[in-house]
Amino acid sequence: MIKWIFFDLGSTLLNEELAYREYMEECVKMLGSLGMDISVSVYSGKMEEFVWEDLDPIRAT
């Protein structure tokens, strides 16, 4: 009998691009309120850099 079914929705059944974009925009706003002037593209680049370093990009950034 099957007890569990696991679905990996991210990037398979759902497009997460918009959610990540909104997340990055909110992070940039928060950093701006703390006096750090950074763009979404720089923030995104840093997230990608951490992915290549095999780190969790959300936590590391």
Mean pLDDT of the chain: 91
Question: Does the structure show a pLDDT above 80 at 58?
Answer: yes
Encode pLDDT of 21-41 as tens digits. 999 999 999 999 999 999 999
Question: Does the structure show a pLDDT above 90 at 16?
Answer: no
Instruction: Give the chain as a 3 state SS string.
Output: CCCCCCCCCECCCECCHHHHHHHHHHHHHHHHHCCCCCCHHHHHHHHHHHHHCCCCHHHHC
Please give the model's pTM, rounded to 2 decimal places: 0.73
Question: Does the structure show a pLDDT above 80 at 12?
Answer: no
Confidence band of 54 (pLDDT split at 50, 70, 90): very high
